[in-house]
Amino acid sequence: MNYPNGKKPSRQVNQMNKEKTSFSKRGMTLEEDINETNTFYLHSNKAVIHKKPTPVQIVKVDYPKRSAAVIKEGYFKQASTTDYNGIYQGKYIDFEAKETKNKTSFPLANIHDHQVEHMQSVCEQGGICFLIIRFAFHDETYFFPAVKLFSFWNSQFNGGKKSIPYNKIKEVGIKIPFSYQARVDYLKVIDQLYF
């Protein structure tokens, strides 16, 4: 093969390029992975779990022509609760998905008061409620039960840390390995913990 400068690239350059390339994430975000997982669950008749739409109040719409309405202005009607809900083996499932680039901890600022209140209500009613937390730096995803979150959440208002250390999430949470069809197979963890 002829190269532009007439020389083959050195093995060292090729090796460096191979080291920089990582196919582990395949360009997917946590939300995309969960959506793919939920589609697999639905099509294989395992569970019915969907992403909740955020309610929006549309204020201004332009109609340049009948078939092409353009929303120009809108506002969130209310604060949303958690990202996903549905049903699995007769139990209500409700969870929030969070991804962080932080290496050493999960910042509690990623969660809002109304979300924690909602999760507490779900737990009180006997639903299965949890967080799915992905540490992008470590390329690791964890199932973190909501009941474990509450003590960390309350502690921050009494002088405690405003984050959950990565090591604590590794200890208390359950790692969800990446798989092909169910990319974030959280039902395996639910089976292990609740059934």
Q: Please check if 185 is assigned to a binding site.
A: no
What are 162's two structure tokens?
């405003």
83 labeled part of a ligand binding site:
yes
141 is in an annotated binding site: no
Query: Residue 13 belongs to what H/E stretch?
Result: helix 11-20
115 annotated as belonging to a binding site for a ligand:
yes
Q: Which residue pairs from 185-190 have beta carbons closer than 8 angstroms and sit at least 24 positions apart in sequence?
A: 185/37, 186/37, 186/95, 186/130, 186/132, 186/143, 187/41, 187/46, 187/47, 187/88, 189/143, 190/88, 190/93, 190/128
Please report, in range form, the residues annotated as the binding site for Mg(2+).
81, 83, 96, 115
Please report, in range form, the residues annotated as the binding site.
81, 83, 96, 115
